Structure 1
Amino acid sequence: MDFQQLKKEVIAYSKEIGIDKIGFASASTFETLKDRLLRQQELGYASGFEEPDIEKRTNPTLLVPKAKSIIAIALAYPSKMPNAPRSTKEDRRGIFCRASWGQDYHTILRDRLQKLESFLKEKVQGVEVKSMVDTGELSDRAVAERAGIGWSGKNCAIITPEFGSYVYLGEIVTNIPFEPDQPIEDQCGTCNKCVEVCPTGALVTGGQLNSQRCIAFLTQTKGFLVDEFRDKIGNRLYGCDTCQTVCPENKGKDFHFHPEMEPDPEIAKPKLKPLLTMSNREFKEKYGHVSGSWRGKKPIQRNAIIALAHFKDETAIPDLIKVMKEDVRPVIRGTAAWALGKIGNDEVLPILEQLKEKEQDEEAKQEFEKGIALLVKS
């Protein structure tokens, strides 16, 4: 079979189905990545959301035994929100990162990858394929880098010449021996802005991320947020874009190719107070279609409370007292108590002291004590 011709046909078809960039890579083991992942593990920098088996993450033949190549795809997403609503003193707002605007990108990319799979199955008898997006075994970034989609930036994102780093990535491992494309040379040069500006110092050096300090990771955790990071999180409800927004390669990059990626401003930048008492059903109905909902409402609500503390929003005091009295989850009660310490006044102090005595959860009780200490100090 003429695989060169097939490659041309795949590229042409990818454009028809709304893939913005496509590249081809060999399916050989990712040796450099393997060393890096082992080092990440040793240093305790991994997030815990990744595939734990490093062999599977770096050896495509463990996923498709006769793997010969990998097809990498990229879809550009918007970086600017038209008609973005503004926070007001009465109605403060949080923000979801750009990668959680519009429909969940996992769904969008899986649709494109399934179409590509069907195309290959029609063309090649006995073809073997395995697709993945984000949660698969392979590193999307390592595959995209090898396939020439872009270079791996100091901000640990793939940076494409055309779309900057505002791209979603996915790949197909296959037994078709496609000729690999050339990787793109690193173009970060001496620029170190992302490393210097990272709010928590999570970018240890260019290209090395301590996930445990990364705000994007921290916004997805479910327990109490470590004190050190509470003032750093600002009004972020899910994810963080700082290392992308400061990147010179992203200047002026804003693409609106895919209607399903367009943000609903009231979802991407929602009012904070209504989030506090939202039921599971209401949360699922409103936010279930965005990628930022995957951990459920608890982290989003905790982050909304921290955001209200960030704004020192006195109009939220009654809402936070209600949460502190009525919410069954210690993390939410305790975070509300701490937030009231940041926001509140003398009238709040007796309420905090009274509720602290009733609090049964030890960790939550410590948060009540922090709130009380903040009020006494002020």
Structure 2
Amino acid sequence: MNMLQLKQQIIDYSKEIGIDKIGFASASPFIELKDRLYQQQELNYQSGFEEPDIKKRTTPELLVPKARSIIAIALAYPSKMKDAPRSTKSERRGIFCRASWGRDYHDVLREKLKLLEEFVQGMVPDVMTKSMVDTGELSDRAVAERAGIGWSAKNCSIITPEFGSYVYLGEIVTNLPLEPDSPIEDRCGTCNKCVEACPTDALVTGGQLNSNRCIAFLTQTKGMLAEEFRDKLGNRLYGCDTCQTVCPENKGKDLHLHPEMEPDPEVAKPLLKPLLTISNRDFKETYGHVSGSWRGKKPIQRNAIIALAHFKDETAVPDLLNLLKDDPRPVIRGTAAWALAKIAPARIEEKLQEATVKETDEEVLLELEKALARLEQ
């Protein structure tokens, strides 16, 4: 079969099924990435969500025997919300990052990749393929960079000339010898806005991220959030867009190409107080279709408590007192104690003292002690 012809047929079909950009890369090992990943590991900059086997992350042939090529795809998502509800003094709202607007992108991209795989298999019946999105072994960003989808930017995102960094990435590893595309030249230049704007200094330097300090990672953790990060969280419930919104390459980029990626404003920017007592069933029904729900409701609820403290929302005090008194989860009780001291320091000491008498969890007791100590200052 003529591989040049097949490549063009794949490109044409990708447009038919709504893939916004496609590129082709060699499946040779990612040597430079391998070195960087070992360095990240040594510095303890990894989040723990990644594939732990660095060889698998950098050697496509371990995933598909005799791998020759990787087909990379990108789908653009919106950066602006239509009819976004406003946060008011009595009805404060949180925010999900743009990558968690609309239907879970993992599902959307997997469907596109499956169609693309089936098309290739129809053309070459004995072809070998393996597709992945985000949670697969390979680095989506490294593949996209090699395939010419975009350049790897200082904010650790892929920036495309057409869509900025507001793109979801996925890839298919195959044993077909498809002609690779050329990488795009890095256009970040001397711009350092993303590094300077990072709320927690997680961008150590351009292109190097300490994931353990990144708000996008921190919002997904399930334990007590370290105190140094709480005031940095603002009203973020899941993810962080700061390093993207300050990027000059993203100015004016707002693509509404896929109806399934359009956000429901009440889901993407929800009221905070109802989140505090939402049931598992209601959480799943309301938020289960978005990528930000994958860790369950507890991290979202913890972040909602922190957001209410950020707003110093006194109308939330009764709800927070109920959590401190009755919630079975130490993380929620401890975070509520911290938030109450932030919101109503002049009138909350007695309630915190009462909670200290009844509390048995050491981590919550520590939060109560620290909250009371701050009130005495």
TM-score, normalised with respect to structure 2: 0.99
Per the alignment, in what secondary structure is the counterpart of residue 306 of structure 1?
A: helix
Counterpart of 2:315 in structure 1: which amino acid? T
Q: Are 2:310 and 1:310 aligned?
A: yes
Counterpart of 1:7 in structure 2: which amino acid? K
Match of 1:266 in 2: 266
Per the alignment, in what secondary structure is the counterpart of residue 107 of structure 1?
A: helix
RMSD: 0.6
Q: Deviations over 1:36-84 (max 9, x none)?
A: 0000000000000000000000000000011110000000000000111
Alignment length (residue pairs): 377
Q: Deviations over 1:144-173 (max 9, x none)?
A: 000000000000000000000000000000
Match of 2:95 in 1: 95
Per the alignment, in what secondary structure is the counterpart of residue 120 of structure 1?
A: helix
Gap regions ≥5 residues in structure 1 = none
1:338, 1:309 → 2: CA distance?
8
Counterpart of 1:134 in structure 2: which amino acid? D
Shift of 1:349: 1.1
Shift of 1:183: 0.2
Counterpart of 2:77 in structure 1: which amino acid? Y
Shift of 1:192: 0.4
Per the alignment, in what secondary structure is the counterpart of residue 130 of structure 2?
A: strand
2:371, 2:266 → 1: CA distance?
31
Counterpart of 1:136 in structure 2: which amino acid? G
Match of 2:290 in 1: 290
1:273, 1:159 → 2: CA distance?
36
Q: Deviations over 1:75-131 (max 9, x none)?
A: 000000011111000000000000000000000000000000000010002100000
Query: Is the 1:341–1:370 contact (alpha carbons within 8 Å) kept by the matching residues of 2?
Result: no
Counterpart of 1:371 in structure 2: which amino acid? A
Shift of 1:227: 0.7
Identity of aligned residues (%): 76
Q: Are 2:212 and 1:182 aligned?
A: no
Match of 1:162 in 2: 162
Match of 2:200 in 1: 200
Query: Is the 1:341–1:373 contact (alpha carbons within 8 Å) kept by the matching residues of 2?
Result: no
Query: Is the 1:103–1:260 contact (alpha carbons within 8 Å) kept by the matching residues of 2?
Result: yes
Match of 1:64 in 2: 64
Matching of residues 123-272 of structure 1 within 5 Å: 123-272=123-272
Query: Is the 1:344–1:375 contact (alpha carbons within 8 Å) kept by the matching residues of 2?
Result: no
Per the alignment, in what secondary structure is the counterpart of residue 162 of structure 1?
A: coil
Q: Deviations over 1:228-251 (max 9, x none)?
A: 101101000000000000000000
Match of 1:42 in 2: 42
Counterpart of 2:219 in structure 1: which amino acid? T
Gap regions ≥5 residues in structure 2 = none
Shift of 1:376: 2.7
1:324, 1:78 → 2: CA distance?
38
Shift of 1:34: 0.1
1:88, 1:347 → 2: CA distance?
23
